[in-house]
Amino acid sequence: MPLIEIRKRSLTIETTYHDGGPVTDTPLKLAAACAVIQNPYAGRYEPDLMPFMAELRSLGTLLAQELVDTLGQDKIEVYSKAAIVGVNGEMEHGAVWHEAGGWAMRKVLGEPKAIVPASKAVAHTGYRLMVPVHYIHASYVRSHFNSMEVGLQDAPRPNEILFALVMGTGGRVHSRLGGLTQDKVSVHDGQR
């Protein structure tokens, strides 16, 4: 029996033209691809989650490719991942997404080095989660620290998990707080 049974998927795109200042020439686009699946371990303790994590790589690739197709491979500058586990599950059921979702995004984006930020929760149906994003090539590029809300009004149900990947086309529209800038990234270790 497969471990992944998708009930529904969603794709949300936010386009920001300004944030109280002048209208930008290039609007910022943030997009979240979500999948709601049946939690194969809801209501019970499973000591070995590795097969689930391995099988989730295909779901991660599906969502990551959808985001790349939506935003354009060469335009993606930020990323993140998230999981909301229904109340009959446990935090570890969402933590499997760290490897599966992160691996998938790195694969489709050409192996960027920066750590993929994440957020996860065990929560009720309709819960919304703020997901942090940052620059894909260096975690300390301050202009690209941002967030996007993910969630669906009917998910996750108690025996489900909502998995999400987030990508975006740039930093905050009116970023002006200094720090490391994209053009000064030089070490290529994912940090600085």
Among 111, 132, 98, 119, smallest CA distance to 189 is for: 111
Please give the single-letter amino acid code of residue 184.
K
pLDDT for 40-66, tens place per residue? Answer: 999 999 999 999 999 999 999 999 999
pLDDT at 30: 98
Question: Which residues does 175 contact at the CB level (< 8 Å), separation at least 6?
Answer: 142, 143, 144
Distance between CA atoms of residues 135 and 120, nearest Å: 20
User: Could you give all domains of the chain from N- to C-terminal order, each with its CATH number?
Assistant: 6-184 (3.30.1330.110)
Q: Please, which pLDDT band fits residue 144 given cuts at 50, 70 and 90?
A: very high
Among 31, 111, 113, 103, smallest CA distance to 72 is for: 31
Among 123, 84, 120, 81, smallest CA distance to 102 is for: 81
pLDDT for 53-106, tens place per residue? Answer: 999 999 999 999 999 999 999 999 999 999 999 999 999 999 999 999 999 999
DSSP sequence for 91-124: HHHHHTHHHHHHHHHHHHHT---S---EEEEEE-
Residue 14 has pLDDT above 70, yes or no: yes
pLDDT at 2: 83
Q: Give the H or E element holding residue 53.
A: helix 50-71
